[in-house]
Chains A and B, each alone.
Chain A
Amino acid sequence: MTDVDISKAATAAVGRPEIRNTGLLRQSLSIAKRNLIHIKRMPEMLMDVTIQPIMFVLLFAYVFGASIDTDSPAGYREWLMGGIMGQTIAFASFIVAVGLTADLDKGIVDRMRSLPINPAAVLVGRSMSSLLHSSIGIVVMSVTGLFIGWRIRGSFLDALLAYALLLMWGFAMIWVGILVGSAMRSVEAVNALMFATMFPITFLANTFAPTDPMPTWLRVVAEWNPISSLVQAVRELWGNSPAAPDSAALPLQHPVLATLIWTVVITAIVAPLALRAFGRRTAT
């Protein structure tokens, strides 16, 4: 009993409960749960994965639908769904960044960092809730799609693989979100930056219009855009589009493999940058 430390001595009078390190997973779940309560209290936070993409689907399907020619067996509306899902999951980065910046700005992150928990729990918890947030969008999109005539025409396993690819993509986007969220000082700045980058990036692809009629330079850019691989992959796996023509860029010839490579590459490059940015932001 000679090595009793002072923290016990000081609290002998008040009877201190035992602090237990419950591990990264449980700690992250606690934080994720808190983030989900936020959504429950402010359901309008879900607008970015509900009203907004539904509006896009309807606008594109009915306004542009008639004038855009695709190779999809069931027409533009069905073809569109892979694109809108790709965009929705890419915006996971947006969701992570906004949430993280708000927590950093309000001192919530510091509050968590002063607790005896795994320091990564803040980021993992944020990632979990953001992925769930985006997944709600994917479900809403799927249901909306079913209403306007979208169908899964491939095998069950292929369909599942398509959803798995979307989730993997969301995982890679989380790192982008942590990077942006750590670098920006206010939610407004995050909104402005993400709006100015993610929208053009997700449009400059095969998401809403086929790439083959584009001028050559634009077509090259669009087809090498990583999102195009993801969108082409889910379209093919759902049986919403035939394989890309021989004239398409290499990644679109092997979209599933390309998507896997893109997610690994993006994560490998962005994750260390994101962790460094977060470390720097919280160190001062």
Chain B
Amino acid sequence: MPRSDFRRDRDESRMRLSAQTSSVGRMSSQPAIEAEDLVKHFGDTHAVDGVSFTVPEGSVLGMLGPNGAGKTTTVRMMTTLTKPTSGTARVAGHDVVKEPAAVRSSMGLTGQAATVDELLTGRENIRLIGSLYGLPSAYIRSYGDELLERFSLTEAADRTAKTYSGGMRRRLDLAVSLVATPPVLFLDEPTTGLDPRSRVELWDVLRGLVKDGTTLLLTTQYLEEADQLADRIVVIDHGKVIAEGTPLELKEQSGKAALVVTVSHADQLQTAAGLMRDLVDEIHVDESARQITAPAEGLRDVHRVATAFESSEIVLDDLGLKRPSLDDVFLHLTGHRAEPTTEEEATA
């Protein structure tokens, strides 16, 4: 069958399905992913120790935590690969223990290590998984080409995955997971080990998926990643959820934004401090950094201070608003930093 026919088939099924959305609309209060008090023990190790969260349809949950926090174990329970010691979880409304087959039909998984088949070409990897999903081979061919194109793998499509770079493997792994268009996607540390450019590229791809309506649960050790992609974040450490909220809420938990002014010449620091005292309630002067810090509400404060400095003789290096990073949040919550050390990264 020619490719275009299959494209049309897909369009038709799109219409058929969208005709049902009115009845679905009333029911979609049900979250796409749900975990209730999930526990997993390995002997004495409490890998996951009572984790609960819900992910509304079409949104992104970032599960943030350091190495060994229990992220992979949680994902493995959600994707039916390992049974919870206790607690329940549902994916697309299906219980992961009681209806594993239904769960597997509704989700895609990209594991922590890229599990593409190294001896198969990119195209063959997609074909293998597509055929295991029972998709028609003409469909796999046409949609596979579309995926390869979307993930910038068209040129490498007929090379064995062994020859791919880390970023290409990750993208292929993701493309393979998408061949059956799962409504829910689990990504376990999708960008660990990638260079910054590949990471940003992958983020763009993930944003595209979310725009198309995919529900995403992604784990990460990178605070910036959760900040960039997630609608909500659960922070986990030692198998427990220690904080939850939107990226902004979490940042606000650990303090307000600050206005930071850096003067160019040390001898103007005191003059600058005097000027600022008239404008804001309290300031903190750091002589060695030639910096003055003050609590700020928002951009209005920045504007006020900037205007004042403009009409003075003081030369500034920098003036800006500094919001607490998620790194500060993590430190605030746990007393230790979340970013992996280079050593951990190497073994991850």
A residues contacting B by CB (< 8 A) are 1-2, 4-22, 26-27, 30-31, 34, 37-38, 41-42, 106-108, 110-117, 121, 282-284
B132 touches A10 (CB 8 A): no
A116 touches B105 (CB 8 A): yes
Q: Quick one: closest A residue to B24, CB to CB?
A: A9
Q: For B32, what are the chain A residues with a Cβ–Cβ distance below 8 Å? A: 6, 10
Chain B min CB distance to A32 (Å): 11
Indicate whether B180 reaches chain A with its CB closer than 8 angstroms. yes
A111 touches B111 (CB 8 A): yes
A284 touches B20 (CB 8 A): no
A116 touches B133 (CB 8 A): yes
Indicate whether B23 reaches chain A with its CB closer than 8 angstroms. yes
B181 touches A107 (CB 8 A): no
Q: For B181, what are the chain A residues with a Cβ–Cβ distance below 8 Å? A: 11, 14-17
Q: How far is the CA of A37 from the CA of B25 in the complex (A)?
A: 46
Q: How far is the CA of A41 from the CA of B10 in the complex (A)?
A: 34
A34 touches B128 (CB 8 A): yes
A17 touches B180 (CB 8 A): yes
A110 touches B24 (CB 8 A): no
B92 touches A7 (CB 8 A): yes
A15 touches B13 (CB 8 A): yes
B135 touches A12 (CB 8 A): no
Indicate whether B334 reaches chain A with its CB closer than 8 angstroms. no
Q: For B135, what are the chain A residues with a Cβ–Cβ distance below 8 Å? A: 17-20
Q: How far is the CA of A14 from the CA of B183 in the complex (A)?
A: 9
A5 touches B133 (CB 8 A): no
Q: For B124, what are the chain A residues with a Cβ–Cβ distance below 8 Å? A: 34, 37
Q: Quick one: closest B residue to A20, CB to CB?
A: B134
Chain B min CB distance to A232 (Å): 39
B132 touches A107 (CB 8 A): no
Which of B13, B107, B143 lies at the interface centre, i.e. has the most chain A CB atoms within 10 A of its CB?
A: B13
B residues contacting A by CB (< 8 A) are 10-11, 13-14, 17-18, 20-21, 23-25, 27-28, 30, 32, 42, 57-58, 79-83, 92-94, 101-102, 104-107, 109, 111, 113, 115, 117-120, 124, 128-129, 131-136, 139, 143, 160, 180-184, 212-215
B27 touches A6 (CB 8 A): yes
Q: Which of A12, A17, A27 contacts B24 (CB 8 A)?
A: A12
Chain B min CB distance to A182 (Å): 15
A12 touches B17 (CB 8 A): yes
A116 touches B101 (CB 8 A): yes
Q: How far is the CA of A117 from the CA of B107 in the complex (A)?
A: 13
B131 touches A7 (CB 8 A): no
A11 touches B134 (CB 8 A): no
Q: For A31, what are the chain B residues with a Cβ–Cβ distance below 8 Å? A: 128, 132
Given contact pairs A9-B28, A22-B134, A116-B101, A16 touches B17 in the complex (Cβ within 8 A): yes
B134 touches A21 (CB 8 A): yes
A17 touches B92 (CB 8 A): no
Chain B min CB distance to A260 (Å): 35
Q: For B118, what are the chain A residues with a Cβ–Cβ distance below 8 Å? A: 106
A34 touches B20 (CB 8 A): no
Given contact pairs A8-B17, A19-B105, A30 touches B133 in the complex (Cβ within 8 A): no
Given contact pairs A17-B10, A17-B13, A41-B160, A110 touches B28 in the complex (Cβ within 8 A): no
Q: How far is the CA of A20 from the CA of B42 in the complex (A)?
A: 35
